[in-house]
């Protein structure tokens, strides 16, 4: 398999080339990195077979999303079973989890801790840029995928305990959803 990077992801503000020394690598992880991670998950898990632990965790995460769906305006009837919507949700969910782990490694390689200001800023950039990318990439009702733009952004972040801790969402059900 091969991966074709959409042109929109190759130009600022979605992607910054390495020659621009002032731009930290973690800026690119939220857009191009997250998209590549999602597509790698798609390529490596043709039928989206996940471990039983991962399936239970994702089920808890989607249950968490259901709890906030009314407030966020998500389509509750779509968040069920193992249909196309579920498969797409798995891709975006694990794509974000993979790129978040990559971000953690980048920050550690910079000699920073994952408790300091650089980590906090890097996570904020990652999640904000991830939502920018998810909400603007092809898909949704008119783009051939079962998820809307809003769902592609909100389902992975609201299901992600790292997002919850990065933005101080105390008491969220996502805290109980660690893989």
Residues contacting 103, CB < 8 A, separation 6+: 26, 29, 33, 122, 123, 126
pLDDT at residue 127 tops 70: yes
Residue that has been written with the tokens 């080339």 in this structure: 17
Check residue 62 and give its pLDDT: 65
Q: pLDDT by residue (tens digit) across 24-56?
A: 777 778 777 888 888 888 777 755 555 666 667
Q: Which of 44, 51, 55 is nearest to 86 (CA)?
A: 55
Contact 135, 152 (CB under 8 A): yes
Tell whether pTM > 0.85.
no
Which tokens in the block code for residue 108? 């550690």
Confidence of residue 123 (pLDDT cuts 50, 70, 90): very high
């Amino acid at each position: 398999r091969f991966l074709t990077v959409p042109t929109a992801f190759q130009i600022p503000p979605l992607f910054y080339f390495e020659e621009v020394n002032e731009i930290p690598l973690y800026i690119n992880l939220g857009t191009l990195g997250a998209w590549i991670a999602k597509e790698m998950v798609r390529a490596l898990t043709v039928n989206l077979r996940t471990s039983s632990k991962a399936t239970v965790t994702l089920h808890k995460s989607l249950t968490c999303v259901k709890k906030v769906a009314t407030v966020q305006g998500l389509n509750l009837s779509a968040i069920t079973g193992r249909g196309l919507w579920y498969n797409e949700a798995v891709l975006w969910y694990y794509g974000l989890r993979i790129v978040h782990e990559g971000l953690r490694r980048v920050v550690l390689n910079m000699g920073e801790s994952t408790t300091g200001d650089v980590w906090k800023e890097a996570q904020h950039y990652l999640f904000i840029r991830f939502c920018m990318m998810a909400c603007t990439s092809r898909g949704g009702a008119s783009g051939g995928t079962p998820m809307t733009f809003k769902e592609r952004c909100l389902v992975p972040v609201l299901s992600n305990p790292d997002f919850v801790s990065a933005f101080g969402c105390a008491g969220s059900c996502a805290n109980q959803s660690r893989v």
